[in-house]
Amino acid sequence: MKRLVAGACVAGLLIGSAGAVVSEMTPPPVEEVMPEGTPSVDYKASADVLYQLGLFQGSGTDRFGQPVYELELPCTRAEAAVMLVRLLGLEEEAKNASATPFVDLQDWQAPYVNLLYHRGMVKGASYDRFEPESPCTAQMYTALMLRALGYSDQQGDFTYDNAILKAMQIGLIDSFSCDVEDFRRDDAAQMSRMALELTPKGSNITLLDKLVDDGIVDADKAQMVEQESRQVVSLREQIQMAQPYEADVFGALLDNVSGNSISLHGTLTEEGKRARLDGVLSVALADGHSVSQQVIVLRDSSGISLSPLKSEGYRDDQIAALLRQTNFLSVVMSAVPARSLITDVRLNGEGYEMPLLNGTAALTVNQTGVPQTRTLDMTLHDMMYSVTAQTTRSDSELRISVPDGYSSYIKISNTPG
């Protein structure tokens, strides 16, 4: 459905000091730069979930009675307000919300904007204008969602400028789940879907559980959604708690439109929430240029970083831009794919099958939970991804060390997967 788009990763140079063993390899970036484009997936499934829960209505129904979402359309400021009010279960309350100074609201828009305005969650474009038909940007909607989850830009939990980075840190956005340059209704639906799995600040239950407790969402319908979420979370935790291991990894990407290709082959060391890959990165462009170099890739809770590249005719930023556009490294470096890609987790003998929105992934583990083999094959808008991994060693003494020249590493993504 959707074009190649700008993803929700943020780039910047790394800073830090060398040491023997790292607790967090990648400090926060000094500079934040939005990448040119990454492949996004079709989020009709997320819209379906919201529709079934009564939190998303779309634009009507087709002749078969099925909902029509028009997810490819830009998201307006008024539509964002409606989606947010419904996600919070406040639609009935909105009907009685006091008026605002805005004179440009249609009758159907006013209740939603009025409620959010008086709760301090939205502002106007001017004193008496809300501009409801103006586009809602990714940054705007992300800030709204953070406020809905109890985070306050007034109290310093985040700033409007770093809202997207904050969303990555709490799991509201991952490498494939948002188009920051061309925000549309499918992006809003997916972010709303991800929010249901999160625990609002100051709460001990998820947003979805709160909606059930408040009588907004049917408990049986919510249980089906929560089961999928628990399966993904449980598998991630199992991998993070497993004994450190080394694996031989090979990843490849082919862009069938441009003809560009990327491959990465090397030894991946996984230690809980951190990983390091030592190997060879090869990039071949359709214009005949190519580069193949030894690299080190680092992954931790703050994102993915790459050792500097030196090649005649190429600059670090050129290669980094291509890696950001494709999110290739996040696919290679993570045993479990990005949350927004996974539609289910199925136990199959000694391993797990993970149907993806646009492909499939599989993971086998031994009796202690250490991954043994891993495969992934998916196609996102003419980009073909393939990853295989085979564990060669598992040892509780394995540790990830900070490489030489660490301070010059390039930030590829602010989210690990």
Tell me the average pLDDT across 230-238: 87
Residues 219, 254, single domain; the answer is: no
Dig out the tokens for 318 from the structure. 């050129």
| pLDDT at residue 216, rounded to an integer | 92
Tell me the average pLDDT across 186-204: 93
Residues 348, 199, single domain; the answer is: no
Residues 182, 72, single domain; the answer is: yes
- Segment 337-361, tens digit of pLDDT: 998 899 889 988 879 999 998 899 9
Residues 270, 209, single domain; the answer is: no
Burial class (CB in 10 A: 0-12, 13-18, 19+), 135: middle
Q: Are 11 and 32 in contact (CB under 8 A)?
A: yes
- Segment 283-316, tens digit of pLDDT: 998 888 888 999 999 998 778 999 988 765 556 6
181 has pLDDT over 60: yes
> Cα separations (Å) of 106 from 102, 133, 188, 378?
10, 10, 21, 43
With CA atoms as reference, report the closest residue to 165 among 291, 11, 381: 11
Which of 3-12, 96-105, 284-293, 388-397 has the lowest average pLDDT? 3-12
The DSSP symbol for 408 reads: G
62 pLDDT band, cuts 50/70/90, is confident
Residues 23, 40, single domain; the answer is: yes
118 has pLDDT over 70: yes
| pLDDT at residue 134, rounded to an integer | 96
Q: Which residue has the higher pLDDT, 19 or 32?
A: 32
| pLDDT at residue 10, rounded to an integer | 37
Last residue of a domain, one of 174, 201, 236: 236
Residues 398, 363, single domain; the answer is: yes
272 pLDDT band, cuts 50/70/90, is confident
What's the domain count of the chain? 2
With CA atoms as reference, report the closest residue to 55 among 206, 149, 158, 189: 189
Last residue of a domain, one of 181, 211, 236: 236
Residues 212, 250, single domain; the answer is: no
Percent over 70 (pLDDT), the chain? 88
- Residue 231's domain comprises 4-236
Residues 360, 378, single domain; the answer is: yes
Q: Are 253 and 384 in contact (CB under 8 A)?
A: yes
Last residue of a domain, one of 236, 264, 282: 236
192 pLDDT band, cuts 50/70/90, is very high
| pLDDT at residue 36, rounded to an integer | 42
Residues 83, 207, single domain; the answer is: yes
| pLDDT at residue 172, rounded to an integer | 93
- Segment 248-264, tens digit of pLDDT: 999 999 999 989 999 99
Dig out the tokens for 98 from the structure. 């006091």
